[in-house]
């Protein structure tokens, strides 16, 4: 493969900047800059020299093909983190025939070389995007090949069942059982149950991956925005405060004891005659309806009736005015805010129980199609039973990107930049 | 071949009769003499065909191009295309106990000179073995003590041009080995050629010798044996299930221990035969040797069994040899349209480790590769290539016209659940109208009753109804398979550069690069079958092709 390189650390000024090279000439190209490095996987502290001029003092290391992230020969140059140094090294690498890696190209090469399967790559993408502890844990399970191991086990059951079916078809003139043995149904039932456990674990895993949405709803002047501001000033890890998709929704993303939670301030839930505002309010309402949880805030502790769902939190606002109460909160004094965040966490963490290892829509679809093939097998003619088992096997293959991978490869590899 | 089999068949049985049409397989047992005579008659009367008998000892031409063959008497026969079918004769050695001698089969010399001449092509070659049981004199078998198995009451024949067998039909006897038989074999195991270490070639797992059965399935105290008469006026009986390479006296002893065979006389001992075969991965899909112009191989020389598999290859090699002689493009049978296509593709892309046998499970499109639609799948191809005679052409035209008419009739005629209920059929009362075609595919609807209750179908023949019902049964699967088939065809069509330098493709393991360099797959589909090929490596090849396309565009 041709030689590609990219900065593995974020661009800009920093302590260290790492340039990673992958391809046939990775080692020799790095050695041209820092001198010979005899042993793989050993760090060398060297002068990076070009034509007798020392550009920087660097740490260099190389990995042999078959023992690297991409599966190819890989070299890394750890420079001091000044953009001018990185720019100079880029120029030297271009001059030696290397090119800048395209988005996701390192990972693509890892996949092509059989170092990672599709589910692991999806997991790696999640890991790099992880912001909270729960997200990190979930992604780590995916990227360490847990799904691949589970799938291999499923496949072995499927192969055993298939063998029992095929023997009665292809060896009909031999001394073999003519009926489909009970063992086949045992195996396919066990497989279906196991796949369905993962399907059930999807929505929890997906919530962990995508994060939860909690909407604060209530009449105007109930103190929703003040509450949001109060939470934002508290000692929780704030991820971002960004304007929402509409001018009527404000989002506050925070890391709540490891869960990624986005608080929505659905300001402006009121009667209006302005058509644009009505449309905006409608969107705010819709966000509130689809949120994982709603906090109803009002002066008298009533919920917003048409938005209320079981399990919602109902609070009195302005606790500083009405006096401290169990289900009241004050944006002014902060009373009840910690209690509210605890309640939100408790309610949401119930929804993460039983999180599976499948957290992507694509993976879920393959699981559904695999499980569908295993429905109601009893009584099917043997050749159709065999066909269903085959279909199930194809779905499991696609789960790991064994086949039909090309279609979504481009999508996956271009949707995040790994290895830069 | 189907027509000859229908003339010579003395017992017809449809395997898997109680299972679905996609896995049913017509089988027949031949009268050897009738088959030989009918084949001779058909071939010798074929216009433009001259039959020459004699031993071929060498090829003429160079190691890159065959221009004909040289006979043992020194004469030469020139040919643009030569098809070589050596059966088990190429460097054949037969083994009975610890006695072995060169022979192609019992009573025939091995082909040794030809093996020497073949060597100059430098083809990858190896050894396989197969076995055969002792032949018995039917007159000495106590048939009255045995169960008899007749053929089917309504025999299914091979050729669409026939509707019933020609010859008189017979029954086979059934007997079993017993513990005494197994003890004799066990005690003499060391004297078997296979177990005595005299044989290096690999035998088929699906067709074990009686020694193998006794050793590998030690817990079974009895194995079934079919006693198959070899002809109507031939007393030779083929005891199917006890092939062996034990010494003659041990064969006598164990045969006599079996019920009904107490006094059976062995006419010819069982033996194992070892022979040369050519690694079929050096062949193209046309069965032409990739590196030798004008040379085609078919049958056991390509590492298959000598039965249907050999017959199918004979058709392919013969057809392509003729096309090549006419300077026309080779015909490539696809995995999607025939078992022949599956077999050839498996052979040339995967190679073999034991004599290759066709199993239906090897076919991805089993539900559409059926005996009842073979003509719809392949006869149009034959017509286009020019190898279909006028009688068959006319018969096919009639049959397919009848099918098309009946199909559109059956798809057009629709009934509501209430109408069906009036006719006595129970379907879900969902207000959905169902076509006769759909109804024919429903398991709980009696096909005969349905046809009888719809006057429009009175003129449709039973055979056509049965074709319709088979298609209807698998219809929903056929649609999915059609999609997969187009994907396969697209891959088959994605051609790889025959001169690609795989050693230069980063990301390919050294082993895969070497295999790709050796096999030089012509299409992506071929590459995908190479042993050890990973999906990742395939994606790499796709990328390779596509980057070439971009560069040349």
Q: Indicate whether this complex's ipTM tops 0.85.
A: no
Cβ distance of B366 and A71 shorter than 8 Å: no
Query: Can you give the pTM of this predicted structure?
Result: 0.74
Cβ distance of B539 and A386 shorter than 8 Å: no
Cβ distance of B19 and A172 shorter than 8 Å: yes
Q: Among B432, B453, B479, identify where a domain stops.
A: B479
Low-confidence ranges of chain B (pLDDT < 50): 549-553
Q: Which residue of B has its CA nearest to A109?
A: B507
∠ CA A145-A64-A417 to the nearest 5 degrees?
A: 50
Question: For position A309, what pLDDT does the model report?
Answer: 85
Mean pLDDT of A53-62: 95
Mean pLDDT of A242-257: 65
CB of B225 less than 8 A from some CB of A: no
Number of folded domains in chain B?
4
Question: For position B493, what pLDDT does the model report?
Answer: 65
Residues of A in contact with B27 (CB under 8 A): 173
CB of B478 less than 8 A from some CB of A: no
Of A312-321, A403-412, B496-505, where does mean pLDDT reach its minimum?
A403-412
Q: How far apart are CA A203 and CA B247, in angstroms?
A: 69
H helix runs in B53-129, sequence order: 113-119
Residues of B in contact with A175 (CB under 8 A): 223-224
Residues B348, B452 within the same domain = no
CATH number at residue A217: 3.40.50.300
DSSP symbols for B315-380: HHHHHHHHHHHTT-PPP---TTT-HHHHHHHHHHHH--SS-B---GGG-TTTTT--GGGHHHHHHH
**Quick check: A111 pLDDT over 70?**
yes
**Quick check: A415 pLDDT over 70?**
no
Q: How far apart are CA A184 and CA A168, in angstroms?
A: 12
Question: For position A399, what pLDDT does the model report?
Answer: 81
Question: For position B34, what pLDDT does the model report?
Answer: 97
CB of B20 less than 8 A from some CB of A: yes
Burial of B117 (0-12, 13-18, 19+ CB in 10 A): middle
Q: Which residue of A has its CA nearest to B475?
A: A384
Does residue B201 belong to any structural domain of this protein?
yes
Residues B179, B121 within the same domain = no
In angstroms and rounded to an integer, the radius of gyration of the C-alpha atoms of chain B is: 27
Residues A365, A392 within the same domain = yes
Does residue A107 belong to any structural domain of this protein?
no
Residues B304, B285 within the same domain = yes
**At a CB cut-off of 8 Å and minimum separation 6, what does B170 contact?**
B10, B11, B151, B229, B232
Give the gap in angstroms from C-alpha B506 to the nearest C-alpha of chain A: 4
Mean pLDDT of A292-318: 83
Question: For position B344, what pLDDT does the model report?
Answer: 94
In angstroms and rounded to an integer, the radius of gyration of the C-alpha atoms of chain A is: 28
pLDDT in tens, A9-48: 887 788 899 999 999 899 999 999 999 999 999 999 999 9
Residues of B in contact with A178 (CB under 8 A): 18
Residues B145, B261 within the same domain = yes
Question: For position B551, what pLDDT does the model report?
Answer: 37
User: Residue A326 — pLDDT band, cuts 50, 70, 90?
Assistant: low
φ and ψ at B126, to 5 degrees? -155, -175
β-strands B295-297, B82-84 pairing: parallel
Cβ distance of A24 and B366 shorter than 8 Å: no
Residues of B in contact with A71 (CB under 8 A): 507
State the residue range of the domain holding B124.
52-132+276-377
Least CB–CB distance from B360: residue in A72, A169, A401: A169
Residues A173, A187 within the same domain = yes
Cβ distance of B20 and A72 shorter than 8 Å: no
Residues of A in contact with B536 (CB under 8 A): 111-114
Residues A29, A51 within the same domain = yes
Q: Which residue of A has its CA nearest to B503?
A: A1
Residues of B in contact with A386 (CB under 8 A): 361, 366
Question: For position A161, what pLDDT does the model report?
Answer: 86
Q: Among B234, B269, B304, identify where a domain stops.
A: B269
Residues A31, A125 within the same domain = no
Number of folded domains in chain A?
3
CATH number at residue B85: 3.50.50.60
CB of A383 less than 8 A from some CB of B: yes
pLDDT in tens, A147-198: 888 888 898 888 888 888 887 787 777 666 677 889 899 999 999 999 998 8
Question: For position A321, what pLDDT does the model report?
Answer: 67
């Amino acid at each position: 493969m041709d030689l590609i390189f990219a900065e593995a650390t974020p661009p800009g000024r920093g302590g260290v900047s790492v340039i990673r090279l992958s391809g046939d000439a990775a080692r020799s190209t790095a050695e041209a800059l820092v001198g010979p490095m005899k042993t793989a996987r050993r760090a060398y502290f060297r002068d990076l020299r070009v034509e007798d001029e020392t550009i920087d003092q660097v740490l260099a290391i190389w990995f042999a093909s078959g023992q690297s992230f991409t599966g190819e020969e890989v070299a890394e140059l750890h420079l001091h983190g000044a953009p001018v140094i990185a720019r100079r090294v880029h120029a030297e690498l271009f001059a030696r025939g290397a090119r800048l890696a395209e988005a996701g190209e390192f990972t693509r090469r890892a996949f092509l070389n059989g170092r990672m399967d599709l589910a692991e790559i999806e997991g790696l993408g999640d890991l790099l995007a992880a912001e909270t502890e729960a997200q990190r844990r979930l992604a780590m399970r995916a990227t360490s090949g847990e799904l691949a191991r589970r799938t291999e086990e499923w496949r072995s059951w499927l192969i055993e069942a298939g063998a029992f079916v095929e023997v009665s078809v292809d060896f009909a003139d031999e001394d073999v059982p003519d009926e489909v043995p009970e063992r086949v149904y045992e195996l396919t039932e066990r497989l279906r149950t196991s796949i369905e456990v993962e399907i059930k674990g999807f929505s929890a895993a997906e919530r962990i991956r995508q994060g939860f949405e909690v909407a604060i709803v209530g009449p105007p002047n109930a103190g929703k925005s003040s509450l949001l501001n109060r939470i934002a000033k508290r000692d929780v890890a704030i991820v971002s405060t960004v304007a929402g998709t509409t001018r009527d929704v404000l989002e506050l993303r925070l890391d709540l004891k490891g869960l990624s939670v986005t608080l929505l301030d659905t300001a402006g839930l009121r009667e209006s005659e302005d058509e644009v505002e009505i449309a905006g309010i409608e969107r705010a309402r819709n966000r509130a309806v689809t949120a994982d949880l709603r906090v109803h805030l009002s002066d008298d502790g009533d919920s917003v009736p048409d938005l209320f769902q079981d399990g919602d939190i109902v609070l009195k606002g302005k606790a500083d005015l009405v006096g401290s109460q169990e289900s009241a909160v004050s944006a002014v004094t902060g009373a009840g805010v910690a209690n509210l965040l605890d309640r939100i966490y408790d309610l949401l963490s119930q929804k993460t129980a039983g999180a599976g290892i499948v957290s992507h829509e694509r993976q879920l679809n393959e699981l559904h199609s695999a499980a569908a093939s295993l429905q109601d097998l009893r009584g099917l003619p043997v050749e159709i039973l065999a066909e269903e088992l085959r279909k199930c096997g194809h779905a499991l293959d696609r789960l790991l990107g064994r086949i039909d991978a090309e279609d979504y490869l481009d999508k996956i590899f271009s949707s995040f930049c790994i290895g830069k | 071949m189907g027509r000859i089999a229908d003339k010579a068949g003395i017992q017809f049985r449809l395997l898997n009769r109680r299972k679905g049409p996609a896995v049913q397989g017509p089988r027949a047992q031949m009268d050897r003499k009738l088959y030989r005579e009918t084949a001779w008659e058909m071939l010798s009367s074929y216009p433009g065909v001259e039959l020459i008998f004699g031993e071929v000892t060498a090829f003429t031409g160079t190691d890159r191009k065959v221009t004909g063959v040289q006979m043992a008497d020194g004469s030469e026969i020139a040919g643009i295309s030569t098809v070589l079918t050596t059966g088990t004769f190429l460097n054949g050695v037969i083994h009975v106990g610890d006695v072995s001698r060169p022979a192609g089969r019992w009573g025939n010399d091995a082909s040794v000179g030809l093996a020497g001449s073949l060597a100059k092509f430098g083809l990858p070659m190896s050894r396989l073995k197969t076995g055969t049981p002792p032949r018995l004199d039917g007159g000495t078998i106590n048939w009255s003590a045995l169960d008899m198995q007749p053929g089917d009451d309504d025999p299914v024949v091979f050729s669409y041009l026939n509707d019933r067998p020609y010859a008189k039909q017979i029954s086979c006897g059934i007997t079993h080995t017993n513990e005494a038989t197994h003890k004799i074999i066990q005690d003499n195991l060391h004297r078997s050629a296979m177990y005595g270490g005299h044989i290096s070639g690999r035998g088929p797992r699906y067709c074990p010798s009686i020694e193998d059965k006794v050793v590998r399935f030690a817990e079974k105290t009895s194995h079934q044996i079919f006693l198959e008469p070899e002809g109507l006026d031939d007393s030779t009986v083929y005891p199917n299930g006890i092939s062996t390479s034990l010494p003659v006296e041990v064969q006598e002893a164990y045969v006599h221990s079996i019920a009904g065979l107490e006094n059976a006389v062995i006419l010819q001992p069982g033996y194992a035969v070892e022979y040369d075969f050519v690694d079929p991965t050096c062949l193209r899909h046309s069965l032409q040797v990739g590196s030798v112009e004008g040379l085609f191989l078919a049958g056991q020389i390509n590492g298959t069994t000598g039965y249907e598999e050999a017959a199918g290859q004979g058709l392919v090699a013969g057809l392509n040899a003729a096309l090549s002689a006419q300077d026309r493009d080779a015909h490539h049978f696809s995995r999607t349209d025939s078992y022949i296509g599956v077999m050839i593709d498996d052979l040339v892309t995967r190679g073999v480790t034991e004599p290759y046998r066709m199993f239906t499970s090897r076919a991805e499109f089993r539900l559409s590769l059926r005996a009842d639609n073979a003509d719809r799948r392949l006869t149009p191809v034959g017509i286009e290539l020019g190898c279909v005679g006028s009688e068959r052409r006319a018969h096919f035209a009639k049959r397919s016209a009848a099918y098309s008419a009946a199909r559109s009739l059956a798809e057009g005629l629709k009934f509501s659940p209430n109408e069906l209920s009036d006719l006595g059929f129970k379907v879900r009362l969902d207000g959905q109208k169902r076509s006769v075609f759909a109804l024919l595919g429903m398991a709980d609807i009696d096909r005969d009753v349905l046809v009888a209750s719809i006057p429009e179908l009175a003129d449709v023949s039973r055979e056509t109804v049965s074709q319709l019902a088979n298609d209807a049964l698998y219809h929903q699967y056929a649609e999915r398979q059609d999609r997969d088939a187009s994907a396969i065809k697209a891959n088959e069509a994605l051609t790889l550069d025959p001169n690609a330098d795989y050693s230069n493709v980063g990301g390919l393991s050294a082993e895969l690069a070497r295999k790709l360099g050796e096999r030089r797959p012509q299409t992506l589909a071929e590459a995908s079958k190479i042993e050890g090929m990973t999906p990742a490596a395939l994606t790499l090849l796709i990328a390779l092709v596509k980057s070439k396309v971009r560069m040349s565009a």
